[in-house]
Structure 1
Amino acid sequence: MITVGWREWLSLPELGIDNIKAKVDTGARTSCLHAFKVETFEKDNVPWVRFWLHPKQDDVEYEICCEAKIKDERTVTDSGGHKEQRYVIESKLCLAGESWPIELTLSNRDTMKFRMLLGRTAMRGRIIVDPEQSYLAKKTDKP
């Protein structure tokens, strides 16, 4: 088991994201990644999504473009009770020298402090959260 704090640095290498600050959120079932521009396309007759994100908190100048196969499309209710239809993708998460696949929904998080939420489904059986700590996993840890 990996012990993490309430916020951590992690990476999503399949999306080209080397480091992103995430809020570790046991109240959220699904993990969520910031996407401010989203467009769908087909690759080999399979639906894919292309999206842009600002991976650095408080930096809207630096942006990257990511592509992923669409795994699903779901209605997600946020903490304020608002429902939103979101694309669901899968990507490998790297944290504290370990990696595993997780599901992520895509949503515009421009008004949120964190560009990513790590939800409890992605943590199940792998992570213990110490809510009094931050950044227990090193920023550069990669498997």
Structure 2
Amino acid sequence: MIMIYKHDHSLKVNTRLKVEPHKALPIIGWREWVTLSDLGISKIKAKVDTGARTSALHAYDVHEYVEGHKKMVRFKVHPMQKDTHSVRYAKAEVVDKRLIRDSGGKVTLRPVIITTIRVGELKWEIELTLVNRDQMGFRMLLGRQALRGNLLVNPQKSYLFGKSK
């Protein structure tokens, strides 16, 4: 732990701030191409959103069902912005259902799944909520829970892991 001493002129006291040194983490831009191979999505543009706690994936025709003793969900995804012809069919285990408040303040109950994300050569598991994002600019949001301990964000940069062809 590093101790930093800050002199506060208005209070005439020394304030001790505790600062944890971070490990060297890769830096991601405010938007990146990512892969969700467990869901059959080889590329999808994600907006990195540190204001969003949980990551969200555009999904429609969402149907929950039971397979064995597991709660499952099957759904469709349009992975490319402004393209409703390209469709990916996916299914995953539902690990939770959460009330999520969107940027407009509307609260919806969403299924939560866990899937593997790949950004460049980096891979790790993240939680994703499924919601229809057809009217949104990005088909996926990468929230701060998925970033924590894995990446740092440079909001002035885009596609630091490469542009999609």
TM-score of the aligned structures, taking structure 2 as reference length = 0.82
Deviation at 1:2, TM superposition (A): 1.6
Higher RCO structure (Cα 8 Å, ≥6 apart): 1
Counterpart for residue 41 of structure 2: 17
8 Å contact from structure 1 (residues 2, 96) kept in 2 = no
Deviations 1:59-100 (A, max 9, x none): 001111100000000100111111000000000011120111
Counterpart for residue 94 of structure 1: 118
Deviation at 1:50, TM superposition (A): 0.1
Counterpart for residue 125 of structure 1: 149
Whole-angstrom CA distance in 1 between matches of 2:162 and 2:95 = 30
8 Å contact from structure 1 (residues 19, 139) kept in 2 = no
Counterpart for residue 113 of structure 1: 137
Deviations 1:34-80 (A, max 9, x none): 01210012222211000001001110011111000000001001111
1:13-52 superposed matches below 5 A: 13-52=37-76
TM-score of the aligned structures, taking structure 1 as reference length = 0.95
Match of 2:83 among 17, 34, 59: 59
Whole-angstrom CA distance in 2 between matches of 1:83 and 1:131 = 27
Q: Secondary structure at the match of 1:14?
A: helix
How many residues are matched? Answer: 140
Q: In the alignment, residue 99 of structure 1 is paired with which amino acid?
A: K
Give the alignment's Cα RMSD to 1 decimal: 1.0
8 Å contact from structure 1 (residues 70, 88) kept in 2 = yes
Counterpart for residue 134 of structure 1: 158
> Structure 2, unaligned stretches of length 5 or more?
1-24
Residue 68 in structure 1 maps to residue 92 in structure 2: yes
Displacement over 4 Å in runs of 4+: none
> Structure 1, unaligned stretches of length 5 or more?
none
Deviations 1:104-126 (A, max 9, x none): 00000000010000000000011
Whole-angstrom CA distance in 2 between matches of 1:21 and 1:113 = 10
8 Å contact from structure 1 (residues 10, 139) kept in 2 = no
Q: Secondary structure at the match of 1:33?
A: strand
